[in-house]
């Protein structure tokens, strides 16, 4: 029985792409998928050194990881990322759309450029990656999984100045449902994870009051960690979730209950 349960989470021989995979949440996701046996493409835009360091860490643990530079807003670069993955590892089984940006600006001061920057990365980039990876999965003919990283902000507004970010993440939730229905005949499951506030040294140094307020308000009395999100993504990428598609799983310590 224990071997049967462990096998549910065994990703040996499978290939995953994680966008924004070099730092923070993405780093936690990459480590979990690699620990489960997957070969992982660490897609990054501005974090070359952390991506290479993480790839070396995984290679040193008898895993296989490949850092690939890509701007998810550029459809040509996204296609190149998919082709590079197939050339290097032979296939694609999983895509985790984690790349995203967050800015704060009240509506009266929000520029069109800032609005477009958030939507181009958080939603259009997710669309480019999903379309390219799904085409490869369909061609392979044996299913696949796509996991999109949304946010609690998709269903609960932030604390002011985040309407553009909130709207982009709401779009991720809606897109996840539509894509899940479209790709189900190909046995490609599409789900999303909605993280709450994730702890980091940068958060504590730049927004300590916010961190403390959310921590106190959260029923489980702590902020999230990259491992919390990595564990959830691993579940949705594994056979343990074979009958789940079109869903958003919020990982937030009960914050949305308050």
Please identify every residue annotated as catalytic. 165
Name the residue among 207, 197, 245, 152 with its Cα closest to residue 25.
197
* Inter-CA distances, 225 with 25, 97, 155, 201, 257, Å: 8, 18, 20, 11, 19
Distance between CA atoms of residues 161 and 177, nearest Å: 27
> What's the CA angle centered on 36, arms 240 and 38, to 5 degrees?
105
Who's near 130: CB < 8 A, 6+ residues apart?
95, 97, 146, 148, 175, 179, 190
Who's near 120: CB < 8 A, 6+ residues apart?
73
Beta bridge partners of 65: 40
Name the residue among 150, 148, 153 with its Cα closest to residue 129.
148
Calculate the dihedral angle through the C-alpha atoms of 159, 163, 165, 170, rounding to the nearest 10 degrees: 110
Beta bridge partners of 94: 16, 145
**Rg of the Cα trace of the chain?**
18
């Amino acid at each position: 029985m224990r071997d049967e349960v462990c096998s549910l989470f065994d990703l040996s021989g499978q290939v995953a792409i994680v966008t924004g995979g070099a730092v923070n949440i993405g780093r936690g996701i990459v480590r979990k998928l690699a620990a489960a046996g997957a070969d992982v493409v660490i897609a990054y835009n501005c974090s070359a050194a952390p991506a290479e360091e993480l790839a070396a860490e995984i290679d040193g643990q008898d895993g296989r990881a490949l850092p690939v530079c890509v701007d998810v807003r550029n459809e040509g670069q996204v296609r190149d990322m998919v082709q590079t993955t197939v050339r290097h590892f032979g296939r694609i089984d999983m895509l985790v759309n984690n790349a995203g940006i967050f800015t704060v600006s009240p509506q009266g001061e929000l520029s069109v450029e800032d609005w477009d920057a958030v939507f181009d990365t958080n939603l259009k980039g997710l669309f480019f990656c999903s379309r390219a990876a799904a085409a490869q999965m369909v061609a392979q003919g044996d299913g696949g999984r796509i996991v999109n990283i949304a946010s609690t902000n998709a269903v609960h507004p932030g604390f002011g100045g985040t309407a553009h970010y909130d709207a982009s993440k709401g779009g991720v939730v809606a897109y996840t449902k539509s894509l899940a229905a479209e790709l189900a005949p190909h046995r490609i499951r599409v789900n999303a994870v909605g993280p709450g506030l994730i702890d980091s040294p940068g958060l504590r140094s730049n927004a300590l009051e916010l961190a403390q307020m959310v921590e106190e308000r959260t029923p489980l009395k702590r902020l999230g960690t990259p491992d919390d999100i990595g564990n959830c993504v691993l579940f949705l990428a594994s056979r343990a979730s074979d009958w789940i598609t079109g869903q958003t799983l919020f990982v937030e310590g009960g914050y949305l209950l308050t």
